């Protein structure tokens, strides 16, 4: 077994690392290097430079160049720190200028780890708006990838029905190509489909699925993608993922487009299932990006409507996601459209079937009715293989009762978190939802299309959750509290226009 030696610039530290490990198809290996950095040991006031200024300040209190020569990407683990109320750090990639600002709250949301940075060098700077002498930051570990650290795409093989893409599987998973060729193409829309990154430092691998933003600021993926989330590893959703390198090595999105999953509020029992075909789903919340302070629905300004297949027209199915491929397309957002074969099951085991090309890594993606558009409709969550000339690939339908209940519960928690108080009930509004007026119930999957309907239906001390959109005109004119009921009107983000 070969050994590799890596040195961090400015540090008398070297670590011997194994360069030949075997990983399953969906496990992308990475490496860990211990790193001993304490800003208190070398507190300094730097001269203002292009990299040493931030938000009008004259210079950083501390700066360190952190480098692992030849690495594809870096991520830092932070140890003891005290940034107080006014301190923060700035991390900048020397390769592409990707930048992340982190204050004390961001360190909590990101589980004391940075975003992923492309390239082999990151500049860490410590700033303090109040000039406190007590702030400090420490770095304990560097995580990094090397050229060739990726899963290897396997030759096409015919899958067994009901075969999911297990992200921690110890065997090569079957492919999900329906015909003799892979018909996926690069996707420009929707902006609401993200790459979900699972990071496991205990075993030194990354696994990647697909996840997406729903109308009310919650998010969905496949249950088997989340099997280790509740053990405490931070998860990220990233958008606008760039092309991979020519050899297939994936690159990461700009830190501005990386969002930490809210692991603290994820219930491993109630918020996901991985019980096989028709019952493989996860619903979760995502914290704000540390640069923008925005959640995905705000930062992306886009989302999926959610619907049951029986309530809408389904002319065909589109699957968008970050499946494996060769070359620069590997783990980038691609899409394919094909025939919808129908829905099977009832209760809490209901699956959709469709002849649409996907690959490992597409798990968790939206099952889109028709062709992808700027504001598409998702009927469920892609999860399983099975495609051939007669059968299709599969996803869990929103007809699954447990999935619908979990979505409503997480949506309720999200509204209460936004407002900092509890509500007896919530009514949902989505002006762009295609459901017929006669089928509207004010639920997440069957929302009202006017705010007035929700205001009239919500009980006192309830909330009306409004998806971004235009609610102008007479149908959305009302007087709050006219009958003595108290209520709150809430939007998860984006532009909402109500009334005349």
pLDDT at residue 396, as a whole number = 96
Instruction: Evaluate whether 351 touches 344 at the Cβ level (below 8 Å).
Output: yes
Mean pLDDT of 94-99: 97
User: In this model, does residue 48 exceed pLDDT 50?
Assistant: no
d(CA 330, CA 361): 10
Instruction: Give mean pLDDT, residues 384-413.
Output: 93
| Percent of the chain clearing pLDDT 90 (strictly above) | 63
249-265, pLDDT tens digit by residue?
A: 999 999 999 999 998 77
Average pLDDT over residues 47-65: 62
Statement: residue 228 has pLDDT above 60: no
Cα–Cα–Cα angle for 221, 223, 226, rounded to 5 degrees: 85
pLDDT in tens, 483-496: 888 999 999 887 88
Which tops the pLDDT comparison, 473 or 183?
Answer: 183
pLDDT band at 66 (very low <50, low <70, confident <90, very high): very high
Tell me the per-residue pLDDT of 122-169, one tens digit each, with 9 for 90 and over: 999 999 887 777 899 999 999 999 998 875 434 334 344 445 544 333
Where residue 175 falls among pLDDT bands split at 50, 70, 90? low
pLDDT at 410: 92
Give the residue from 261, 268, 265, 255 showing the smallest Cα distance to 287: 261
Specify the pLDDT at position 16: 30
Per-residue pLDDT, 178: 93
Distance, CA of 92 to CA of 192 (rounded, Å): 26
Q: What are phi and psi of 427, to 5 degrees?
A: -115, 140
Which carries the bigger pLDDT value, residue 44 or residue 227?
227
C-beta of residue 428 within 8 angstroms of C-beta of residue 454: yes
Instruction: Return d(Cα 14, Cα 4) in angstroms, integer.
Output: 10
Q: Does an H or E element contain 352, and which?
A: strand 349-354
Q: What's the pTM?
A: 0.87
Distance of CA 339 to the CA centre of its chain: 28
Alpha carbons 6 and 85: distance in angstroms, whole number: 36
pLDDT of residue 259: 98
Mean pLDDT of 7-13: 32
> What one-character-per-residue DSSP string does 51-83 give?
TT--TT-S--SEEEEEE-TT-SEEEEEEEEEE-
What is the β-pairing status of strands 487-490 and 462-466? parallel
Please compute Rg for the chain using Cα positions.
24
């Amino acid at each position: 077994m070969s050994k590799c030696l890596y040195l961090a610039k400015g540090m008398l530290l070297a670590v011997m690392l194994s360069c030949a490990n075997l990983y399953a198809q969906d496990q992308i290996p990475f490496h860990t290097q211990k790193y001993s950095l304490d800003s208190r040991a070398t507190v300094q006031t730097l001269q203002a430079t292009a990299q040493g200024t931030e938000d009008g300040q004259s210079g950083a209190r501390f700066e360190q160049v952190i480098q692992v020569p030849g690495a594809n990407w870096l991520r830092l683990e932070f140890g003891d720190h005290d940034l107080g109320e006014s301190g923060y750090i700035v991390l900048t990639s020397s390769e592409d200028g990707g930048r992340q600002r982190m204050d004390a709250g961001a360190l909590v949301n990101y589980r004391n780890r940075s975003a992923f940075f492309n390239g082999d060098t990151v500049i860490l700077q410590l700033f303090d708006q109040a000039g406190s002498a007590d702030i400090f930051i420490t770095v304990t570990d560097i995580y990094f990838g090397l050229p060739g650290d990726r899963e290897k795409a396997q030759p096409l093989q015919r899958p067994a029905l009901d075969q999911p893409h297990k992200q921690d599987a110890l065997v090569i998973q079957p492919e999900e190509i329906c015909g003799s060729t892979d018909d996926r193409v690069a996707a420009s829309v929707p902006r609401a489909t993200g790459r979900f990154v699972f990071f496991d430092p205990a075993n030194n691998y990354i696994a990647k699925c697909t996840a997406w933003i729903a109308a009310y600021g919650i998010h969905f993926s496949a249950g088997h993608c989340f099997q280790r989330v509740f053990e405490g590893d931070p998860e990220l959703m990233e958008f606008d993922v760039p092309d991979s390198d020519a050899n297939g090595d994936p690159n990461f999105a700009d830190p501005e487009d990386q969002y930490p999953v809210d692991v603290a509020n994820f219930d491993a029992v109630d918020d996901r299932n991985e019980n096989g075909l028709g019952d493989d789903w996860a619903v979760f919340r995502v914290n704000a990006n540390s640069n923008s302070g925005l959640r995905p629905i705000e930062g992306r300004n886009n989302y999926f409507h959610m619907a049951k297949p029986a309530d809408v027209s389904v002319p065909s199915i589109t699957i968008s996601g970050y499946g494996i491929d060769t070359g620069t397309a590997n783990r980038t957002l691609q899409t394919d459209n094909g025939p919808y074969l129908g829905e099977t099951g009832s209760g809490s085991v209901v699956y959709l079937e469709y002849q649409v090309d996907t690959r490992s890594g597409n798990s968790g993606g939206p099952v889109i009715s028709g062709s992808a558009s700027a504001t598409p409709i998702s009927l469920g969550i892609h999860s399983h293989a099975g495609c051939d000339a007669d059968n299709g690939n599969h996803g869990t339908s929103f007809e699954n009762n447990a999935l619908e209940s979990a979505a409503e519960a997480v949506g309720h928690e999200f509204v209460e978190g936004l407002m900092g108080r509890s509500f007896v009930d919530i009514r949902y509004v989505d002006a762009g939802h295609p459901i017929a007026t006669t089928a509207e119930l004010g639920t997440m999957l069957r929302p009202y299309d006017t705010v007035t309907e929700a205001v009239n239906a919500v009980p006192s001390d309830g909330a009306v959750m409004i998806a971004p959109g235009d609610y102008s005109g007479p149908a959305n004119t009302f007087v709050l509290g006219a009958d003595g009921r108290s209520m709150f009107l809430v939007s998860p983000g984006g532009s909402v226009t109500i009334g005349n």
